[in-house]
Amino acid sequence: MRSLRSHAPGGPETLTLDTVDDPAPGPGELLVRVRAAAINYPDVLIIQDLYQMRPPRPFAPGGEIAGTVEAVGEGVEGWSEGDRLIAVPGFGGLSEKIVISAKIAIPLPESRSFREGAAMMLTYATSIHALYDRGRLAEGETLLVLGAAGGVGLAAIELAKAKGARVIAGVSNPEKARAARDAGADDCVIYPRGPFDKDDRKKLSERFKEAVGPKGADVIFDPVGGDYTEAALRAIAWEGRYLVVGFPAGIPKLPLNLTLLKSCDVCGVFWGAFAARDPQANAAHVETLFRLWDEGRISPRVTGTFPLEKGGEAIAAMAARKAIGKLVVTMD
């Protein structure tokens, strides 16, 4: 089989397309023929040894897949050869075949494409855990979403609208603003690219405050970090909830006096650990996501597809923060 692998820490240009032996499933495992693998920001980090998980090399990035069962390991029940599934293995997805634990496999309905399926779980599962668990978002509240045109940002917009919230989208250009509005955002703030000096952060904060209104944002969803974080935090409401989701713009340092003045919470969001620690709660979220998908209230937006040999280009586009929605590598 072919596998796009990392042999040493570096950028996407260091990945090589290797031919390797097919893996075999052990007890409790499934051998999956990968049909599509979505690209997410952890793929940018993991090949540089900057992610919290460091697989032994050589390894293939690609933490989110859709495919079909090719072989079933000993002791696995409920799965048969040919069954369609999606899963979030964390890495290994940029390969024609992968072995996964049967426990993480989720059936993919025949009505959904592999491209859609690959783009579903990581962004929507992260966003529903962030908004519904950590942020306690309620109907009628105001949500500010940074990086709103990325996969996780668009998912947050849709899930917030499904809750009946008002959504303000923060984006970096008019094209991304259109994508955010198409997902249901009520208003958009187009901000410049950082880094910012003190005056720039103040100006950006004023723009956020104007957009969310005098009460402030009840919940702020931040998958961006960097200099955007403090500017957004200054626009939070009394007893608001600030959701820390990711840091492609850098890990920020917050003046904690702001949290005192607003009596607000700063909440970390780590979906992978949540899913491992509370699988029943995660399964309930997955059930909700599939129901909302069936109702047409959420829908993964795949805006670019790449063949396996060009998977590095997809990771490079993610690293440059050029992606709108989800990018997917297809194997066929």
pLDDT in tens, 236-287: 999 999 999 999 989 999 999 999 999 999 999 999 999 999 999 999 999 9
**The residue to which tokens 């409790």 are assigned:** 28
Separation between Cα atoms, residue 25 and residue 31, nearest integer Å = 5
What is the pLDDT at residue 323?
Answer: 87
Which tokens sit at 142? 């105001």
Domains (range + CATH), the chain: 2-120+300-330 (3.90.180.10), 122-272 (3.40.50.720)
Best CA proximity match to 320, nearest among 41, 90, 7: 41
What is the pLDDT at residue 77?
Answer: 96
Global pTM value: 0.94
What is the pLDDT at residue 194?
Answer: 80
Low pLDDT (below 70) residues in the chain: none
